Amino acid sequence: MLGSLSDLDLRLIRVFLAIVDAGGISTAQGILNVGQSTISTQLATLETRLGFRLCERGRSGFRLTAKGERFTELARHLVGAVEDFSVQARNMDRRLVGTLRIGIIGHTPFSENIRISQAIARFRQRDEAVRLDIRVCSPGEQEERLLSGTLDIAMGYFWHRIPSLQFTPLFIERQIAYCGRGHPLFFHVGQVSQAEAWEYDWGWRTYPLPQSLFSDSPKSITATADNMEALAMLVLSGHHLAFLPQHFARSYEEQGLIASLNPQVLRYDVTFHAVSRQRQNLGDIPKAFLDDLASVHLSSVAEGLVSTETEKI
């Protein structure tokens, strides 16, 4: 059984994680830039040091054992901690040192992604040595990670208002109901009433929509999904109706693959927030990034007002 940790152990653990990420020993050769026999020997050495088998490998393919799966989690935490320590030790003289863990959802509007990039650029101008860890995950997963402390900041649509979290509005996203080209309503779009749309099969979100959005709901929800790509597939099938972000659906609409049912009636707006723990419980790094994010959004609002006034003149 592994006792005290040595440099060799750390190197073997990194090799093991590379094998896991590659999905097998043969595919890890390109990542590690060593031969398959060398990798096999290193893996066997680690297993001997640990005293248990980490994975099954052979003709049946690569598969982690139960202990291997648990060890993988522990190994990732260890390697991450070592990297954080190295960064902080090298940059003790910097004002901000550590890791900033940010969660975002996929397919946010391009203009909003630009603002996040601008906030990162502003943050990088600070006296800092911070490693950014950015994850794309669903709103439910973001919320769980915030509460467990594995995310510092999340950006997305959140339907709960948990008192221990701080919610800062960022932008509003419009959701519109669409049907695919093969759907019976496709050639009647623009005039479809809510009552008529509710009679057909729908793909629906796995998380709640804003309260009091509609007085009732579709009679037949035959599919659910927690991301835009999955809902778009349902719509493109021609068998399901679904709400999609207007900016996300635009390219499909321009190709004639989908059409909005009635954007004046079958639509709703959701506010996206930057969410973190309450400010008094935040470290200096998340505080600084939130300040930069707020500055970018305030600047964009000011530019919009100036543009509007210029057009009036």
Residue 283 lies in a domain: yes
Q: Is residue 185 very low, low, confident or very high in pLDDT (cuts 50, 70, 90)?
A: very high
| 15, 60: one domain | yes
pLDDT score, position 102: 94
DSSP per-residue string spanning 102-142: EEE-SS--HHHHHHHHHHHHHHHTSSEEEEEEEEE--HHHH
What's the number of domains the chain is made of?
Answer: 3
Tell me the pTM: 0.60
Convert the pLDDT of each residue in 205-238 to its tens digit: 887 666 556 767 788 899 998 788 899 999 999 9
Is there a domain that residue 19 lies in? Answer: yes
In a domain, 1, yes or no: no
Count of Cβ atoms closer than 10 Å to residue 90 Cβ: 11
Same domain, 62 and 149: no
Instruction: Give percent of the chain above pLDDT 90.
Output: 41
Q: Where are the alpha helices (DSSP H) in the chain?
A: 7-22, 25-32, 36-50, 66-90, 110-124, 139-148, 194-197, 228-236, 246-254, 284-312
Dist. CA 114–CA 133, nearest whole Å:
18
Q: Which residues contact 294 (CB under 8 A, 6 or more apart)?
A: 168
What is the arithmetic mean of pLDDT over 105-119? Answer: 78
Mean pLDDT (the chain) is 84
Is residue 159 assigned to a domain?
Answer: yes
Which amino acid is present at 48?
T
CA pair distance 25, 165, nearest whole angstrom: 43
Kindly indicate the confidence band of residue 111, based on its pLDDT and cuts at 50, 70 and 90.
low
Given a cut of 90, whether residue 82 has pLDDT beyond it is no
- C-alpha distances in Å from residue 94, one per residue of 23, 120, 128, 196, 281: 38, 17, 6, 62, 22
Is 290 contained in some domain? yes
Position with higher pLDDT, 156 vs 249:
249
Q: Could you tell me the CATH number of the domain that includes residue 156?
A: 3.40.190.10
Q: Which of 44-58, 134-148, 291-305 has the highest mean pLDDT?
A: 44-58
Q: Which of 26, 58, 90 is the last residue of a domain?
A: 90
Structural domain range at position 104? 96-169+272-312
